[in-house]
Amino acid sequence: MTHICLNPKTGRLSRMTELRAISLRNVGYKIISKVLCQRLKVLLPRLISETQSAFVPGRLISDNILIAQEMFHGLRTNKSCKGKYMAVKTDMSKAYDRVEWNFIEALMRKMGFAE
């Protein structure tokens, strides 16, 4: 179980933004999570695509933003692209809420993860 403790960033509190949230966990939780993380590190290169840039050590989500900006710039400025290509912008907000968890569970079982 995790407890959230609010610590003030400054001496005077007038807004919630002046508080820093700190999670307090027990030692057992920390040990188990560390062991799991170390074991998963070995599997991650096989499980995560090279195009996945967020939440992977050594990769930055900003890399994808820069690539998208360069692509849009190329589409706008390159005369040979006029009328031949298009770009689609999608809203991925709340994408996590739309995950098919049955599919994820079946996929993980097929990859050898225990239930």
Whole-number Å distance between alpha carbons of 46 and 38: 15
CA distance 92 to 49: 18
Average predicted confidence (pLDDT) for the chain: 84
Q: Which of 66, 48, 65 is nearest to 57 (CA)?
A: 48
Higher pLDDT, 89 or 7: 7
Given this model, what pLDDT does residue 115 score?
A: 73
DSSP track, 45-113:
HHHS-TT--TTSTT--HHHHHHHHHHHHHHHHH-GGGTTT--------TTGGGG--HHHHHHHHHHTT-
Euclidean distance between CA atoms 55 and 49, whole angstroms: 12
Nearest to 25 by CA among 11, 46, 4: 4
21-38 tens-digit pLDDT: 888 888 888 899 899 999
pLDDT score of 11: 79
**pLDDT digits over 55-78, tens only?**
788 888 888 889 889 988 988 888
